Structure 1
Amino acid sequence: MRCKRLLAATLAAVLFAPTLTALAQKGKARGGAKTSATAKGAPVLPPIKYTQFFLPNGLRVIFHEDHSTPIVGVNLWYHVGSKNETPGRTGFAHLFEHMMFQGFRGYDMDYVPVIQEFGGALNGSTNDDRTNYWELVPSNFLEDAIFMEAGRMGGLTDAMTQAKLDNQRDVVKNEKRQRIDNQPYGQATYKIAETMYPEGHPYHWTTIGSMEDLSAASLDDVKAFFRRYYVPNNASLVISGDFDPAEARRLVEKYFGPIPKGDTIARPNPPEPHLDKEVREQLEDRVQLPRLYMIWHSVPQYSKDEAALDMLSSILAGGKSSRLYKSLAYDRQVAQAISAFNSTEEIAGLFQIIATPKPGHALAEIEQAVGEEIARLKANGPTPEEMERAYNAREAGFIYGLQTVGGFGGKDDQLNNYATFLGDPGYFEKDLARYRSVTAADVQRVAMQYLTDKRYVLSIVPRAAGPTSAAGPAPASPREGIAPPSQQTAGTQTGGAANAASQTTPTGTASGTQQGAANAGGSTPAGAQTITKTEAQASQAAGAAPPAMTAPGRGGGMGTGTGRAAGQKVNSKGQTKHVDTSLLPKPKPDPKMTLPAVQRRKLSNGLEVLVVEHHELPVVSMNLVTKMGASGDPADKAGLASLTSDMMDEGTATRSSLDISDQLARIGSSVFIGTGWDSTTASLRTITSHLDAALDIYADVITNPSFADKELQRLRAQRLVGLRQQRDRPESIAGNVFQTVLYGSKHPYGHPLGGDEASLNSITGADVREFYQTYFRPNNSALVVVGDVKPDQIVAKLEKALAGWKSAHVPAVDVSAAPAERDHAAIYLVDRPGSVQSVIQIGQVGVPRSSPDYFPLLVMNRILGGSNSSRINMNLREDKGYTYGASSAFSFRRGAGPFTAAAPVQGFSTKESVVEFMKELRGIRGEIPVTQAELDAAKQSIVRGFPRGFETPDQIAAQLEQVVTYDLPDTYFDSYLERIQAVALEDVSRVANRYLQPDRMAVVIVGDRSKIEQGLRTLEGLGNRINLVDTEGHPATQGGATGGGMRQ
């Protein structure tokens, strides 16, 4: 999958992101009703109609109908989070979220596989203030989803066992290792919480809690927590989508009605936290480059100054036109990443600025520059243009937020958010009006009132050379006696932008999630590298709800990755057990789905245009797909394709880089440009009322990029630092090494998608201009348009906008050549001293997208590792407890992309994890035959889940990208379900044996060699074939390689 990079100060980086953050951590929504405060030219927000009632037991129930797609969301919020815990019993709320997927009285089985067999999706998350659970299922399975949510509310403790508790406790510990301990800067999470909130305050500890507290928790402790907080009168249920309200009410009353009401719950109300003076602290971490955190106390959510502080964060760091980015990252080029966000929660909030300097620039220099910009804003306030950008971005964000009925950030989540924290599900209009009422004077005032010298300044610096502890970063220095910024030495930075709301991050390289990979929280399989500015922006480009972007140490919460009961899903032969649906309500017949009609046109310059009308909201998505990606990089110019696409938005003949960003931001529109292996996509997302203005900018970027040398030098420098940053992220290291090992240096897929240091330094402006002129032609591209448009009208607009873009001969790139064949399996070990986890990627070269076995491979991989209930994940996560999530995937490309099975695992379980991976890879080939029940479940999951991929304009456009990139017929999706249903057991066995060869696979491991090598050397068939390699996949020492397994 391609993660596209964000061009403008768009919703993920301006004002949309604080709203999205709120959904996960503080409680603001993305959707909105029509507001009386709409400014001239601003879009009119469609209303969200809902009904609300209460059951006698206190359960709040909210219905919202949306019959556009045959899916329905069931969303249940409990008003309990980590702030309801007590010292010595931290982490309970999050642990209990995991326990909720373990089965219940009357259905003591895995919760997840049955929802997935229905073709549904599900998840849960916990933050300081609330815990939520959601299912998104075909509309005929509404009763089943209600039955299961009510079942676990009313009967979880009766089915809770010590074995389940022990299993999920291990899963949570693995989650902490993966998300915090094994990540750069992860320890900031704890330091910020401990410093900003005094002992005894409910926010003093993090959501994931203390591992010591979790280890000490008894089964009775956990049950007592459930009985107190998981009661109807502490919950809110939203049903949203394609359903009949009368029938839904009958079902809610039937299943939730008998559950008894709980005791009244007292809400924590501690004194307002504050700092009496500035606190400075320095923390060493296993990073190459330093990072600066500046943190102030702000306000609780929905309080008087929250909206103004949100606007302040956007003006400071929301996009390329923001003050901090423009000054520090663009003009002075001293910062690699800069972000600001106002992280508010139910009873308190924090305002944070996080900055990572470029190599050669000290934290003190960054801190001084940030202080100067804040002082200017305090003195003069924001400009009218800054306020306009912020207003329009937020209004557009509200509209974009209305596109999905369910899931994180969907309409049901927004309704529940408002209901839980305000008691008013329909607060959309009032919420948006709060921001419309903010004035420049308000922003200036809150900057002066809250951004004072009473703050916490945390510096994370590279750990000094010497022995490295495997337990994680070294303890922080005592708070007294820390050197002031002026005495701190310069260091190097890592990791790009903080995972924050209002942020702008320069381009760097990153590994993307592979097509078909399970969303199980596991390691990213190799083979899907992309160039992206931020992960949050990338998810926006894909039309997905962005990840919860949270302040370190505070709420956004920990997700389950979906938990299951220990040992319940695999039988004695290792086969996935068939889900017993006999205990569930019998569903109605599967609903009929009408695929969106595709109308194909052709412009006079030869550009093919695919148009889909989608008039539910005033939103338009455009994806220009050019059939050239990183596979077309010259042998000595790796990264040229991605650097070319990055340069396209950095200025045109008539607009500068900042002009483009500013003009898009002022109309709440965004442009994304991303390069994959086989294609490059330039995407536009806009509100219909701003279509003409947005299209003018979009066409300019596509047809008239200037490729100015100064912008090339700036982006090259950012990219080189990005390469350096990758060395701190074990998943990125594993992906790069895996790619190198599989393909070698001479294959079109054998280099890093974003290039390496030598290749990037060799690329000239002439190279970029020539690559663009050669491949970016209308006859080598197609434009997908989905949204609130009429085909004739939009084609006329495109004809005019793209008139100057001319067709020309485009040379073909051959990716069909097979890479060097492996003759045996081998391990490639990258030493990462002190790593608490080992990242494992196992695989081989797979098949091209054109393979006639594409559909059997999809089904086979769904069983093997392509879902949360797959064999691999159930074995390594649920049965063995080695990982937070494991998966497998085929990366389908024009040429043969890789097959990868991957997971981050406990360091001390590295050898055992490799054994279990190999067991599953051999098992599906025949040692553990696939059963008919497994096959049926996999096919039903794919077929019934099909409509969820066509809900929004972004999703439809992304589906049609496949049609363009791989030359599929426009009718491809018409026969998709039929071809899935046609896959038989013999097909699964045949493709598993043909395309999976464990005895010839590469096994890449990134971990602490001193802790894992001895065990690996005892592996049969692999122990004598361990190659020690560096982070690029090259031999680390002459004596380390003992058999590479590749024919050169």
Structure 2
Amino acid sequence: MRPLLLPLLVAALSGCAAFTAQTTDSPRPSPAVEIPSLDIPYQAFTLDNGLRVVIHEDHKAPIVAVNLWYHVGSKDETPGKTGFAHLFEHLMFNGSEHYDDEFFRPLENVGATGLNGTTNVDRTNYYGTVPSGALDLVLWLESDRMGHLLGAITQDKLDEQREVVKNEKRQRANQPYGQVWERIAAATYPQGHPYSWSTIGSMADLEAASLDDVHAWFRRYYGPNNATLVIAGDVDTEQALARVRHYFGGIEPGPAVSRRTQWIAPMQAPKRERMVDDVPQHRIYKVWNIPGLDTRAASELNLLSDVLGSGKNSRLYQRLVYEDQIATDVSAGIWPKELGSQFIMTATVQPGGDPAAVEAAMTEELSRLLADGPRSDELSRVRTRVTAGFIRGAERVGGSSGKSGILARSAVFGGSPDAYKRYLDVLENATPQDLREVGQQWLDAGVYTLVVEPKASLAATTDDPVDRSQLPTPGTPPDLRLPTVQTTTLANGIEVLLAQRSAVPLVEVRMLFDAGYAADQSARPGTASMTMAMLDEGTATRDALGLSAELDRLGARLSAGANLDQCRVSLSALTPQLPAALDIMSDVLRNPAFPPDELARMKPRWLASIAQEKTRPNSLAFRLLPPLLYGQDHAYAQPLTGSGTEASIAALTREELQQFHRSWIRPERATLVVVGDIDMATLKPMLERRFGDWTVDAPAAPPKTLNTVATPQHPRVFLIDRPGAEQSVVLGGQLVPRRGDIDEAALRAMNALFGGNFTARLNMNLREDKGWAYGASSFVPDTAAQRPFILFAPVQTDRTADAMLEMLREARAFGGSAPVTSDELSVAKNGLTLELPGSNETSRQVAGTLSESVRFGLDPRWYEQFVSRVQALDTSTIDRLARRLITPDRMTWVVIGDLARIEPEVRALNLGPVQRLDADGKVIASP
């Protein structure tokens, strides 16, 4: 039951998949030595009651192996009734109606070897090897417990085996690192996933199992139609088949078993936990959820894992154990499972070593392997070793790695007894490029890291001079101390703000324009972003590559982009190179060419990016919410991503980009922000020379429509279908006043308390208390007009409606029945003020702060004044603001998830009108 990281055959057979060979241009490395092919001849039959029978003749020795597999494991259990599959493994060794005694006795008496039974997440098997003359004895016993078991399962036997299993569970948990696998199962799969509990089950479920529960479980899963019987060895096929029909043919089939075929549940973001255990060394586990064993990807990832962490020549061993000597053992492999496997790396830290250094080395080696792929010689070495191990195991007829095990596993999980050949095909033909690509696809950021720490590492020593009875009290918070802002105006009216800082010879320059995504109201959606993206793709005198080379030569960086309210061009240059860098910036701003060939190259990438946004629930939600909040006629009725739509980008022309540039990227809409190692006397002439004579002989665009939007009179719910999604993205949105119309310090404190901080109420509820979400938050995106106040929670699918109720409950109680406490407000105040010095450390950060001041028409000293405003807040101010602003019963909800699973429950909440939308925000009919 405890997974091994696939030492030879188990790894090999993990890829018994119904796939077709891929074609590739990469050359296939030749094996280090010539490896013979492997074929296990067999004949397969199906009895009338559904029992699959596979027979292989091997007459090298007078023995026969019997391997009986039931296609049932812990994944077929349900929450509250876990551990049944493993419990039955015990009960089925405990006697049947016609032989009510331990099954080991008669088999041991005839010289059985390799006799055992095992249960994992996907199957239960019973196997053993006996002299050829004892085949009838084995078939009799197996058929008796298949067809005649229930009469022998009494309450006493159930109680007895229940205690045996509970003690087995305790014994496992009591071993070093023995609790790891339960923690990994729970942490790497969503609640309710059939792999989210351990095969051995929970103590509570085992204790609660009744005799009726056990009988019902047996009737459902242990019939002949859910079983595969393999006989391999010194037998005659026809005679053996006749004996099988004799013993098994009269057993009635059980009900048809329906089952999932896939539920990979890849983790959406990094997740990290620590566990303190009675162990001698730190150990680090890294786990990714990958495709199931019935896939080519799993077979290829298994090969990749061997390159990474199997044997002394593996990369992990060479780096961590042999060269750096920071770990005592390492491994990498896959845990093959039917619905979705797991790729697992482990390293045990050298006693007294640095776990962070070990983890960094693990990550580096994996990253290097994914970036370059395995070398041909590495793959050849692994190919030879694994193939040889597979053949070595297949020399036997019994056991998991023997021929009977190979045929049984192939039949159950690969659909055919010879499915192992498909794995051997991958083993022979996979290329380094194949392994690199599959690794990059699946070994991404969705990784779970578990660090197991020795208890001793946390124990206080007697000579520790530090008082660890309480946390130290922080000192007096430092002042923000932003540099003094100087202002001037160029000849054409462009305002200049300079914050001089001389710590390093670097200058940051930002040209800001009152435009942004909101300006797309008078153009096609996405025009603003595309215009800015095309600025550095060439000018009248510089092509894109030449421009990039010139910037590199100067050590300068130039970028262009947009947000909802502004377009900007940013320059970072060393002080001595600033004049030449400003020449380029001026050329880009004033003379963009919008080359047709560059536009043609950019469009496909842009369209692909939009498609990706629409397939990512988070970005899709932020595409759809703004028009619902603001209405179609508002300038903010744009996707918050600013990327536009497929139709608008496909139709966008060079002439439209030029027109947008003439209408919006012009000096009367501009402000220059400069921060760094330069004084105004030196700076102004430089700017006058490049920008002071800039004029645009074309009419400006009309003002953006930023009308005040009324709050809806009732809640609204919009649903977007993501079939098969294992998580729902829930957004609740409403509008709050613009800056200047509200106490900004109070608003930020209110949001920090409600959902802006990790310890905020929303996150503590949905993540820490309920465990339904990786994180939940609220935020107020900065805009020049009314701003959205958004509640956001990606939650597990089966808790979608429950999470919405909790979000509503928190919103209704905040500032009312659950007023803000002094302790909460103190934490929020510190978070809002103490972070300011650190977030304004660099010239680039200060330039960002000043850019915000320009965007919202603030005094440049606003952020310094902000500290005193926050410190003056009291709880009653926050409570009043929350009651005024948060209107949960007039909120607009957007929910993206598997509607087949969540829509009925969401509708049953009766929050208000419910409509379905497609990925473009168009209303569609509900089925």
TM-score, normalisation: structure 1? 0.49
Q: Which has the larger radius of gyration?
A: 2
3-state DSSP of counterpart to 1:480: helix
Match of 2:906 among 1013, 1016, 1034: 1016
Q: Deviations over 1:395-417 (max 9, x none)?
A: xxxxxxxxxxxxxxxxxxxxxxx
Structure 1 segment 613-692 matched on structure 2, within 5 A: 613-635=500-522, 637-692=524-579
3-state DSSP of counterpart to 2:756: coil
Is 2:651 aligned against 1:792?
no
Q: Which amino acid aligns with 2:588?
A: V
Q: Which amino acid aligns with 1:1033?
A: G
Q: Is residue 715–residue 890 contact of structure 2 (8 Å, CA) maintained in 1?
A: yes
TM-fit CA distance, 1:592: 3.8
Q: 1:871 to 1:448 in 2, by over 3 A?
A: closer
Structure 1 segment 377-392 matched on structure 2, within 5 A: none
Is 2:633 aligned against 1:746?
yes
Q: 1:952 to 1:92 in 2, by over 3 A?
A: farther
Give the corresponding residue for 2:848: 958
CA RMSD after TM alignment: 5.2
For the residues of structure 2 that align with 1:600 and 1:852, how far apart are their CA atoms?
27
Q: Which amino acid aligns with 1:600?
A: T
Q: 1:557 to 1:737 in 2, by over 3 A?
A: closer
Structure 1 segment 151-190 matched on structure 2, within 5 A: 157=276
Structure 1 segment 669-818 matched on structure 2, within 5 A: 669-752=556-639, 753-806=642-695, 810-811=700-701, 813-818=703-708
Q: 1:827 to 1:700 in 2, by over 3 A?
A: same
Q: Is residue 621–residue 683 contact of structure 1 (8 Å, CA) maintained in 2?
A: yes
Q: Which amino acid aligns with 1:632?
A: A
TM-fit CA distance, 1:699: 1.9
Q: Which amino acid aligns with 2:509?
A: M
Q: 1:231 to 1:964 in 2, by over 3 A?
A: farther
Q: 1:725 to 1:191 in 2, by over 3 A?
A: farther
Match of 1:197 among 304, 308, 317: 308
TM-fit CA distance, 1:748: 1.0
TM-fit CA distance, 1:935: 1.5
TM-fit CA distance, 1:452: 11
Q: Is residue 299–residue 423 contact of structure 2 (8 Å, CA) maintained in 1?
A: no
TM-fit CA distance, 1:757: 2.6
Q: Deviations over 1:795-825 (max 9, x none)?
A: 3222223345226774552443134642221
Moved more, 933-942 or 609-618: 609-618
Give the corresponding residue for 2:6: none
For the residues of structure 2 that align with 1:736 and 1:1005, how far apart are their CA atoms?
13
Structure 1 segment 931-1010 matched on structure 2, within 5 A: 931-1010=821-900
Give the corresponding residue for 1:859: 749
TM-fit CA distance, 1:864: 0.3
Q: Which amino acid aligns with 1:1030?
A: D
Give the corresponding residue for 1:916: 806
TM-fit CA distance, 1:966: 1.2
Q: Which amino acid aligns with 2:825?
A: L
For the residues of structure 2 that align with 1:485 and 1:346, how far apart are their CA atoms?
21
For the residues of structure 2 that align with 1:499 and 1:977, how far apart are their CA atoms?
50
Q: Which amino acid aligns with 2:876?
A: E
Give the corresponding residue for 2:10: none
Structure 1 segment 390-429 matched on structure 2, within 5 A: none
Q: Deviations over 1:365-419 (max 9, x none)?
A: xxxxxxxxxxxxxxxxxxxxxxxxxxxxxxxxxxxxxxxxxxxxxxxxxxxxxxx
Q: Is residue 729–residue 794 contact of structure 2 (8 Å, CA) maintained in 1?
A: yes
3-state DSSP of counterpart to 2:895: strand
Match of 1:349 among 348, 352, 368: 368
More helix by share: 2
TM-fit CA distance, 1:947: 0.8
3-state DSSP of counterpart to 2:521: coil
For the residues of structure 2 that align with 1:790 and 1:499, how far apart are their CA atoms?
52
Q: Is residue 272–residue 448 contact of structure 2 (8 Å, CA) maintained in 1?
A: no
Q: 1:559 to 1:879 in 2, by over 3 A?
A: same
Q: 1:865 to 1:448 in 2, by over 3 A?
A: closer
Gaps of 5+ in 1: 1-84, 98-129, 134-151, 161-168, 213-224, 238-266, 269-299, 302-342, 355-446, 457-474, 489-497, 501-549, 563-580, 1041-1048
3-state DSSP of counterpart to 1:833: coil
Structure 1 segment 471-510 matched on structure 2, within 5 A: 478=423, 480=425
Match of 2:921 among 1012, 1033, 1036: 1033
TM-fit CA distance, 1:900: 0.9
TM-fit CA distance, 1:668: 3.6
Match of 2:481 among 594, 607, 615: 594
For the residues of structure 2 that align with 1:695 and 1:476, how far apart are their CA atoms?
65
Q: Deviations over 1:913-939 (max 9, x none)?
A: 111111111121412111122112211
Q: Which amino acid aligns with 2:627?
A: T
For the residues of structure 1 that align with 2:917 and 2:331, how far apart are their CA atoms?
37
For the residues of structure 2 that align with 1:485 and 1:843, how far apart are their CA atoms?
49
Q: Deviations over 1:931-954 (max 9, x none)?
A: 122112211221222211111111
Q: Which amino acid aligns with 2:484?
A: A
3-state DSSP of counterpart to 2:604: helix
Q: Which amino acid aligns with 2:653?
A: T
Q: 1:195 to 1:696 in 2, by over 3 A?
A: farther
For the residues of structure 1 that align with 2:422 and 2:730, how far apart are their CA atoms?
34
Give the corresponding residue for 1:873: 763
TM-fit CA distance, 1:865: 0.5
Q: Which amino acid aligns with 1:862?
A: A
For the residues of structure 2 that align with 1:733 and 1:615, how far apart are their CA atoms?
43
For the residues of structure 1 that align with 2:883 and 2:450, how far apart are their CA atoms?
30
Structure 1 segment 195-344 matched on structure 2, within 5 A: 196-197=307-308, 199=310, 234=354
Q: Is residue 302–residue 333 contact of structure 2 (8 Å, CA) maintained in 1?
A: no
3-state DSSP of counterpart to 1:633: helix
Give the corresponding residue for 1:396: none
For the residues of structure 2 that align with 1:186 and 1:799, how far apart are their CA atoms?
60
Q: Is residue 925–residue 992 contact of structure 1 (8 Å, CA) maintained in 2?
A: yes
Q: Is residue 593–residue 947 contact of structure 1 (8 Å, CA) maintained in 2?
A: yes
Is 2:490 aligned against 1:612?
no
Q: Which amino acid aligns with 1:870?
A: A
Give the corresponding residue for 1:893: 783
TM-fit CA distance, 1:879: 0.5
Give the corresponding residue for 1:904: 794
TM-fit CA distance, 1:990: 2.2
Q: Is residue 850–residue 894 contact of structure 1 (8 Å, CA) maintained in 2?
A: no
Q: 1:479 to 1:823 in 2, by over 3 A?
A: farther
For the residues of structure 2 that align with 1:826 and 1:558, how far apart are their CA atoms?
36
Q: Deviations over 1:548-604 (max 9, x none)?
A: xx9666698959899xxxxxxxxxxxxxxxxxx992223333334422222222222
Q: 1:848 to 1:812 in 2, by over 3 A?
A: farther
TM-score, normalisation: structure 2? 0.55
Q: Is residue 652–residue 705 contact of structure 1 (8 Å, CA) maintained in 2?
A: yes
Is 2:717 aligned against 1:827?
yes
Q: Which amino acid aligns with 1:742?
A: L
For the residues of structure 2 that align with 1:454 and 1:666, how far apart are their CA atoms?
45
Q: Which amino acid aligns with 2:637?
A: G
Kindly indicate whether structure 1 or structure 2 has the higher relative contact order, using CA contacts under 8 Å at least 6 residues apart.
1
Aligned residues: 589
Q: Which amino acid aligns with 1:960?
A: L
Q: Deviations over 1:876-911 (max 9, x none)?
A: 110111111111001121121211111211112212
TM-fit CA distance, 1:660: 1.7
For the residues of structure 1 that align with 2:867 and 2:423, how far apart are their CA atoms?
62
Q: Is residue 309–residue 332 contact of structure 2 (8 Å, CA) maintained in 1?
A: no
